[in-house]
Structure 1
Amino acid sequence: MDTANLKKEIAEYSKEIGIDKIGFAAADVFGELKERLRRQQELGYQSGFEKGTIEERTEPKRLFPEAKSILSIALAYPSRMKDAPRSTKESCRGVFCRASWGVDYHVVLREKLEKLALFIQEKIPDVETKVMVDTGELSDRAVAERAGIGFSGKNTSIITPEFGSYVYLGELITNIPFIPDEPLADGCGSCTKCLDACPTGALVQGGQLNAQKCLAFQTQTKGFLDDEYRSKIGNFIYGFDTCQVVCPYNKKVDFHVHPEFEPEPEVAKPQLKPMLRISNREFKNTFGHIAGSWRGKKPLQRNALIALAHYKDETAVDEIISVMNDDPRPVIRGTAAWSLGKIGTEEAFAGIQKAMKDEMDEQVLFEMEKGLAFEQETAEI
């Protein structure tokens, strides 16, 4: 088998089907990653969203016994939104992080990787392959780093020379022994802009993330958001990408090469008040095609309430009182009460006091008390 020529043909074909960058890596054990993951586990830094054991995440042959090589691909996505709608006094808006602006990247990358697999199969009929995009056991970033797609930045993102860190990653494991590409040298140097900008200190040190403190992770949780994070997520309703925005490699980087990833302004920056009452069907129709919908509407509605508090949107008080009184979910009722307290109008405080008489859930009552405590703080000021 002429693997060198096949590698060249695959690289050329990858450009034809819209893959922005491709690299080839050996399917050896990711030893350094394994030690880092063990350390993450010991420190309690994992998010809980990880799939598989540490061994499965670092030993490709556990997932694919015949594995010889891993193909890593990258697709660039936009960092700026054209004709982005602005918040007004009557219509405050939330925002999804950039990685969730267009069609769910899992779908797009999987389609590209499956085309690659078919192309290779046409050349080598008995080839074996396995496609993974983000939700698989392997670390997309570790594979991409080994394959020379980019280097692993202090913000824990893969940073490419061409597209900065605004790239989606996926991989294809195969039993063909391709000559691996060379990894890139670290390019962060002494820069600490991402560490300095992280609002919660989640970037413990360059390249190490405490996922439990990461605001991107916190926006995806389903329970009550801890008080320390409520004031820091601002108007983000899904994800958080400040650590990418401040990176010098992302300065003036903005690629609009894939129509699928173009943001729909009304979806990427939705009005907040309508989100509070959105039905399951409306949610699916409006947001179901983007990556940020994967946890369902509850976390996004909770975050929308926090964003309305961030804006101190007095026009939303009646709607939030209605949600606090009627929503069957304690997390939403409680967050609504807290939001009303932060907005701080007389009507808001009166609404909380009235609702407390009928509320039975202890956590919701606790949030109501916190909401009313803002009244005292306002009086003292």
Structure 2
Amino acid sequence: MNTQQLKQEIIDYSKEIGIDKIGFASADVFEGLKERLKRQQALGYQSGFEKGSVEERTEPDRLLPEAKSIISIALAYPSRIKNGPKSTKEERRGVFCRASWGVDYHKVLRDKLEKLSAFIVDKIPEASTKVMVDTGELSDRAVAERAGIGFSGKNTAIITPEFGSYVYLGELITNIPFVPDTPLEDGCGSCTKCLDACPTGALVQGGQLNAQRCLAFLTQTKDFLPDEFRPKIGNFIYGFDTCQVVCPYNKHVDFHNHPEFEPEPDVAKPKLKPMLRISNREFKATFGHIAGSWRGKKPLQRNALIALGHYKDKTAVDEIIAVMNNDPRPVIRGTAAWSLGKIGTDDGFVAIKEAMDKETDEQVLAEMEKGLAFKETSTT
């Protein structure tokens, strides 16, 4: 079988198994990306979540020695929740970013890619493949860009003509030398909407991200959230996607092609107060199937406390006091104290002062001081 015929059969099969877009790229070294990654490292712009060395992330033959081609796939995900629940004064809600709605995309894409791999090996028994989704060494976006799936936007997302940037990406390296597809031309032009909307200046310039200032990354960290970012995250408890929402290519884009990605309203927009007392077992049962659960409940609970503070939710004061007094984790106790101060009730301030007499952790005590400082601010 010639590779052009096999390529068409793979494309046809990809449609059968629900892949929204597929592209083929060479397995050459990603030289431009290599230089960008080295610059990112030198500037301290990386998140720390990246897997592998710069070489492993840019040289496909380090991952599959006989690599000749890379097949890139994209699956569209929804941007709107049908009949989404509303936040009320009695029951404030947080929100997961759109990329964490529905079943964890890693599992869904991996399943599709493994089916593609089996299809290829069935046709060409001597074929070798390696499947990767997001957590692999290769840059999904660099592969997708080379394979013509979309162009790399100024917000660093891959933007497809059909689905905007609301797509999950994955790839399959193979030793079959497919004719590569043509990359798309850049489509951002002079538009700077994503740069203008980024609340922390994480988008340093078009296509360059300082992950250390990116709210999507910061919501996933487990330590205290630095003060300057607390006013910025609003009610996001995982991820942040304003740079996608403002993109003109995403206007009116809302695809519901995959039942697995349909958002469960009460999971995608959970009530905040129950998040404070959720057990590990309840957390796993409620959120364990979504991508936003991968860091565990601690960052989400910290972010929920910050969100309740932003809402100035007086109905949550008693529960937040209980967290401040009883939670064994310093980050959660300290953030609870900050949140109480932000809400600003007399009961909350009294509780912070009483808790300070028993607290021994220096960082928590510093957060309690910040909480009490809100009282001084409100009376001046």
Fold agreement, TM-score > 0.5 = yes
Distance in 1 between the 2:46 and 2:362 partners? 29
How far off its partner does 1:194 sit? 0.1
- Structure 1 stretches of 4+ moved >3 Å: none
Which residue of structure 2 aligns with residue 369 of structure 1? 369
The reply to whether residue 229 of structure 1 matches residue 229 of structure 2 is yes
TM-score, normalisation: structure 1: 0.99
The letter of the residue matching 2:363 is Q
3-state SS, counterpart of residue 171 of structure 1: strand
- Equivalent residue number for residue 70 of structure 2: 70
Distance, in Å, in 1 between the alignment partners of 2:66 and 2:288 is: 36
Aligned to 1:98: 98
Q: Distance in 1 between matches of 2:289 and 2:90?
A: 28
Instruction: Give the Cα–Cα distance (whole angstroms) in 1 for the partners of residues 61 and 189 of structure 2.
Output: 34
Q: Deviations over 1:161-187 (max 9, x none)?
A: 000000000000000000000000000
1:330 alignment partner in structure 2: 330
- What residue is the counterpart of 2:182 in the other structure? 182
> How do 1:302-321 and structure 2 match up within 5 A?
302-321=302-321
Post-superposition offset of 1:287: 0.1
Aligned to 1:51: 51
Give the AA of the match of 2:150. Answer: G
State the superposition RMSD in angstroms.
0.4
CA shift, 1:44, in A, is 0.3
Tell me the distance in 2 between the aligned counterparts of 1:83 and 1:359: 44
When normalised by structure 2's length, the TM-score is: 1.00
- Residue deviations 1:247-292 (CA, integer Å, cap 9, x gap): 0000000000100000000000000000001000000000000000
- Kindly provide the amino acid, as one letter, of the partner of residue 258 in structure 2: H
Gaps of 5+ in 1: none
| Other-structure match for 2:339 | 339
Cα distance in 1 between the residues matched to 2:274 and 2:354 = 24
Deviation at 1:233, TM superposition (A): 0.2
- Separation of aligned partners in 1, 2:205 and 2:49: 21
Aligned partner letter, 1:98 = R
The amino acid across from 1:216 in the alignment is: A
**1:370 aligned counterpart, secondary structure:** helix
Corresponding position of 1:117: 117
Q: SS where residue 4 of structure 2 aligns? A: helix
Kindly indicate whether residue 164 of structure 2 is the aligned counterpart of residue 164 of structure 1. Answer: yes
How many residue pairs were aligned? Answer: 380
Provide the rounded CA distance (Å) in 1 between the counterparts of 2:374 and 2:344: 7
% identical aligned pairs: 82
**Is 1:140 the equivalent of 2:140?**
yes
Q: 2: CA distance between counterparts of 1:132 and 1:350?
A: 53
Partners of 1:177 and 1:296 lie apart in 2 by 41
Whole-Å separation in 2 of the counterparts to 1:294 and 1:179: 37
Inter-partner Cα distance in structure 1 for 2:320 and 2:253 = 39
User: Which structure 2 residues correspond to residues 187-198 of structure 1 after superposition, within 5 A?
Assistant: 187-198=187-198
Whole-angstrom distance in 2 between the partners of 1:82 and 1:327:
36
Is residue 269 of structure 1 aligned with residue 263 of structure 2?
no
User: What corresponds to 1:207 in structure 2?
Assistant: 207
- 1:238-317 equivalence runs, <5 A: 238-317=238-317
Aligned mates of 1:164, 1:127 — CA distance in 2 = 33
CA–CA distance in structure 2, aligned partners of residues 363 and 187 of structure 1 = 47
Q: 2:33: which partner in 1? A: 33
Q: Distance in 1 between matches of 2:163 and 2:87?
A: 29
Q: What SS class does the counterpart of residue 74 from structure 2 fall into?
A: strand
Which letter maps to 2:99? A
The structural deviation recorded for 1:134 is 0.1
Structure 2 Cα separation of the partners of residues 217 and 376 of structure 1: 32
Equivalent-residue separation in structure 1 for 2:95 and 2:34 (angstroms):
35
Amino acid at match of 1:122: D
Structure 2: distance between partners of 1:74 and 1:180: 16
Deviation at 1:126, TM superposition (A): 1.2
CA distance in 1, matches of 2:350, 2:120: 67
1:170-208, Cα deviation, whole Å (9 max, x unpaired): 000000000000000000000000000000000000000
Residues 95-135 of structure 1 show CA distances to partners (whole Å, capped at 9, x for unaligned) of: 00000011000000000000000111110011100000000
Taking the aligned partners of 2:365 and 2:120, their CA distance within structure 1 comes to 60
Gaps of 5+ in 2: none
